Amino acid sequence: MTRHVNIKIEPSRELTPSTELELLRGAVAQNPASTQLRMRLARLLNSLDMFSDSIKMLTAHAPLGDDYGVQTALIAAYFARNEAGDTLMALQVAERALSLELNETQKSYLLAELAKAHLRRNDTEKALSFLRKALELDISNVAAFKRLAMELFRQNKPLQVIKLTDDLKQNGIGHSRLLAARTMAFAASGDYKSAQQLACYASFIYEGLIETPAGWSDLATFNAALVSEINTNSSIRFERYGTASEKTWRVEHPATGTTPAVRALLAEIASLAERHAGTCAKHDHFWTDVRPQSAILRSWCVITEGHGYEQWHMHPQGWMSGGYYVEVPDAVTNGDGEAGCLAFGLPSGLIGEVAAHNFGQTLVRPKPGLLTLFPSHVYHRTFPHNAEGRRMCIAFDICPA
Ligand SMILES: [Fe+2]
């Protein structure tokens, strides 16, 4: 197998979400029977946290039809809105959708959604049985794996999580959720050495200042150009459902047709990440064994004022992830505490304080111009900087293509 990971950058966004929304709404109004258009509009509305609009649009024109994509968008909207009765609605739509003509991957997806509804309704036995069935139908179903592993952690059964990951690993599965859960399960069962070996910070975390991209005189000028491009991005928004961001501003697609600095940064990241992947591949490790041959670089921007932060999370879509610091308050760069820092470790919520403490925490102190790269399965969080000014980070995933 070649060591090289070929990274392509996702295309820039030509349309703002509001323009896209306007166009799609117009198209649906003209063709209300088109399930394709309604599904696209629903997915866009869901991505903008406009769940009620999505539900209204999908249920306004009866019949909903027998389209799997439409049904899954509706289920997602009910789950995300999560008002009284929404879980039951999601469950009913999923049950109905299961009677459609579906392939095994689609059936598996719906079973995992049914399981989610049962978990929310505290019907754990039913949920576990659906999750196991979902994995039997599609062994690579990440959502089913995640829900099953999380439930096993809740029941304090880390050895069962290790067994589950062993079984999947033997069948060639190695997504980031699996590596993350396996790391936590080792720590929760007291095997810190195996947990630390799987995270392998020393070999796989990269930290370094980037070279100034061609066209800018120095890094400070380049970062100022990035700040200006992000500040004028019209899709900037406060928080987003389903992310780890708290009290944080986000730009979901920082690269557009008018952001030369962002695009130059992404090109630099892709090149450094390819080089880092090559270096990592020299190590014999589960993570490097599952490296993709080709990958897509997807990015977003996170901006925090004094109180914003990221909860513990990992990056389920990626193989390698990272962040570039565009702007960082001096108090953070020159500080000596945790404020404003990035920390690698494990969340205590699922494995307990003792296991998380014994596993340990590794801090990265941000400064403007610093790039970090790390395996997508390693858990991390950030601390509020509590300072004047902003901390701006362009985060990214390198996703198997
Ligand atoms: Fe992250």
pLDDT in tens, the chain (401 residues): 566 899 999 998 888 888 999 999 999 999 988 888 999 999 999 999 999 999 999 888 656 667 899 999 999 999 999 999 999 999 999 999 999 999 999 999 999 999 999 999 999 999 999 999 999 999 999 999 999 999 999 999 999 999 999 999 999 999 999 999 999 999 999 999 999 999 988 889 999 999 999 999 999 999 999 999 999 998 888 877 888 778 889 999 999 989 999 999 999 999 999 999 999 999 999 999 999 999 999 999 999 998 999 999 999 999 999 999 999 999 999 999 999 999 999 999 989 999 999 999 999 999 999 999 999 999 999 999 998 999 999 999 999 99
Please tell me the distance between residue 310's alpha carbon and the centre of ligand 1 in angstroms.
7
* Residue 107: closest CA among 144, 70, 74, 161: 144
Q: Where are the domains of the chain?
A: 14-199, 201-400
Please tell me the distance between residue 344's alpha carbon and the centre of ligand 1 in angstroms.
10
The pLDDT assigned to 2 comes to 61
Please tell me the distance between residue 315's alpha carbon and the centre of ligand 1 in angstroms.
6
Most distant CA atoms of the chain, gap in Å: 62
Please tell me the distance between residue 334's alpha carbon and the centre of ligand 1 in angstroms.
22
Please tell me the distance between residue 143's alpha carbon and the centre of ligand 1 in angstroms.
19
The pLDDT assigned to 152 comes to 97
Please tell me the distance between residue 19's alpha carbon and the centre of ligand 1 in angstroms.
28
Rounded-to-10 torsion of CA 143, 149, 153, 155: 100
Please tell me the distance between residue 275's alpha carbon and the centre of ligand 1 in angstroms.
21
Give the percent of the chain with pLDDT over 90.
86
CATH number of 201-400: 2.60.120.620
The pLDDT assigned to 336 comes to 93
The pLDDT assigned to 202 comes to 83
The pLDDT assigned to 201 comes to 85
Identify the bridge partners of residue 395 per DSSP, sorted by sequence position.
300, 323
Distances (CA, A) of 81 to 16, 51, 147, 251, 389: 24, 6, 19, 22, 33
Please tell me the distance between residue 373's alpha carbon and the centre of ligand 1 in angstroms.
11
What are phi and psi for residue 348, nearest 5 degrees? -75, -20
Neighbours of 284 (CB within 10 A): 7
Report yes or no on whether pTM surpasses 0.75: yes
Please tell me the distance between residue 338's alpha carbon and the centre of ligand 1 in angstroms.
16
Please tell me the distance between residue 127's alpha carbon and the centre of ligand 1 in angstroms.
29
Please tell me the distance between residue 140's alpha carbon and the centre of ligand 1 in angstroms.
23
Please tell me the distance between residue 15's alpha carbon and the centre of ligand 1 in angstroms.
26
Structure tokens at 173: 């599965």
Structure tokens at 376: 């997508």
Please tell me the distance between residue 263's alpha carbon and the centre of ligand 1 in angstroms.
20
* Residue 1: closest CA among 270, 289, 400, 376: 289
Structure tokens at 18: 């509001």
Please tell me the distance between residue 67's alpha carbon and the centre of ligand 1 in angstroms.
34
Please tell me the distance between residue 374's alpha carbon and the centre of ligand 1 in angstroms.
10
* Residue 350: closest CA among 194, 177, 198, 197: 177
Please tell me the distance between residue 378's alpha carbon and the centre of ligand 1 in angstroms.
9
* Residue 366: closest CA among 399, 391, 337, 346: 391
Please tell me the distance between residue 381's alpha carbon and the centre of ligand 1 in angstroms.
7
131-177, pLDDT tens digit by residue? Answer: 999 999 999 999 999 999 999 999 999 999 999 999 999 999 999 99
Q: Residue 123 corresponds to which amino acid?
A: D
245 membership: H or E segment, kind and range: strand 245-251
The fold of the 14-199 domain, in CATH, is 1.25.40
Distance from chain centroid for Cα 338 = 24
249 membership: H or E segment, kind and range: strand 245-251
The pLDDT assigned to 229 comes to 96
Distances (CA, A) of 382 to 223, 273, 338, 344, 389: 21, 22, 9, 9, 16
Please tell me the distance between residue 45's alpha carbon and the centre of ligand 1 in angstroms.
24
* Residue 265: closest CA among 371, 374, 400: 371
Number of helices (H) and strands (E) in the chain: give both, helices first. 18, 11
Please tell me the distance between residue 380's alpha carbon and the centre of ligand 1 in angstroms.
6
Q: What crossing angle do the helices spanning 142-154 and 104-120 adopt, rounded to 10°?
A: 30
Please tell me the distance between residue 11's alpha carbon and the centre of ligand 1 in angstroms.
21
Q: Residue 327 corresponds to which amino acid?
A: E
